Amino acid sequence: MAYSFIKKEHEANMKIKRIIPAIAAMAVIVTPVVGSAASDDADTTINATINEVISISTSSTVTLNLTPTSGGVVSSGSDTVTVSTNRTTGYNLAVNDSDATTTLASGGNDLTAHSGTKTSPTALTNGTWGFAVATGTTGIGTNGFDASYSTETNNGSSTSKWAGMPASGSPMMIKTTAAAASNDTTTVWYAAKANASQPNGTYTGTVTYTATTN
């Protein structure tokens, strides 16, 4: 009995001795290998380009009512030109007639463009029409217009100074700016003069404003 017990104990010890190395080996197998990770960097530049834009609007219609006399009367009214641009160097504003005919026409009758110019404006003569931008208006620069204009209605003794509207293809610069603008306004005045010999009717013409970034 004693021998048998000792033999069994010996066999158990031998099994334990065989198991322990196996477990140790397994531990070695499943233990993760810790090493240093490789890395690198790369940069990307983001360029967001904001394109320049410009917009323009006007009052659309200027109405001049005249009740002529034998000596002639002047009536005037204003147009508001509004420009917006994100261009940091500003914009230029020019005006010209929408076509080569610079008259205001009513059937076969005309009011012709006045002979005055921006640098040498003069008082209107009967049967003519003209425009003006008051001296001192920001961005207009040197010109011969009056310092101020106001609405005239059948003024028989008007001395206000006007320029003739240039034909299409020959725009006249009336303002320039040097910075971005938001709803920047320019007041442009228009006037006509007629005496009692001018046929009645609504005399119509169209002008075109052009705003261009600097």
The answer to whether residues 113 and 166 belong to one domain is yes
- Count of structural domains within the chain: 2
pLDDT of residue 3: 45
Domain range for 189 is: 54-213
pLDDT of residue 77: 98
Nearest one of 60, 10, 62, 3 to 190, comparing CA atoms: 62
The answer to whether residues 134 and 170 belong to one domain is yes
What are the residue ranges in the chain where pLDDT is below 50? 1-3, 5-6, 19, 23-28
How many Å apart are CA 126 and CA 193, to the nearest integer?
A: 5
The answer to whether residues 18 and 99 belong to one domain is no
The answer to whether residues 66 and 107 belong to one domain is yes
The answer to whether residues 166 and 95 belong to one domain is yes
How many Å apart are CA 79 and CA 101, to the nearest integer?
A: 21
Is residue 45 one of the residues assigned to a domain?
Answer: no
pLDDT of residue 55: 98
pLDDT of residue 7: 52
How would you classify residue 128: left for phi > 0, otherwise alpha for psi between -120 and 50, otherwise beta? beta
The answer to whether residues 148 and 200 belong to one domain is yes
Is residue 36 one of the residues assigned to a domain?
Answer: no
Neighbours of 140 (CB within 10 A): 18
The answer to whether residues 1 and 92 belong to one domain is no
Is residue 113 one of the residues assigned to a domain?
Answer: yes
pLDDT of residue 28: 47
Is residue 88 one of the residues assigned to a domain?
Answer: yes
The answer to whether residues 14 and 88 belong to one domain is no
Is residue 46 one of the residues assigned to a domain?
Answer: no
Element (H, E) at 22: helix 2-30
Is residue 44 one of the residues assigned to a domain?
Answer: no
The answer to whether residues 74 and 5 belong to one domain is no
pLDDT of residue 163: 98
pLDDT of residue 14: 55
The answer to whether residues 4 and 109 belong to one domain is no
pTM: 0.81
The answer to whether residues 134 and 188 belong to one domain is yes
The answer to whether residues 102 and 205 belong to one domain is yes
Is residue 42 one of the residues assigned to a domain?
Answer: no
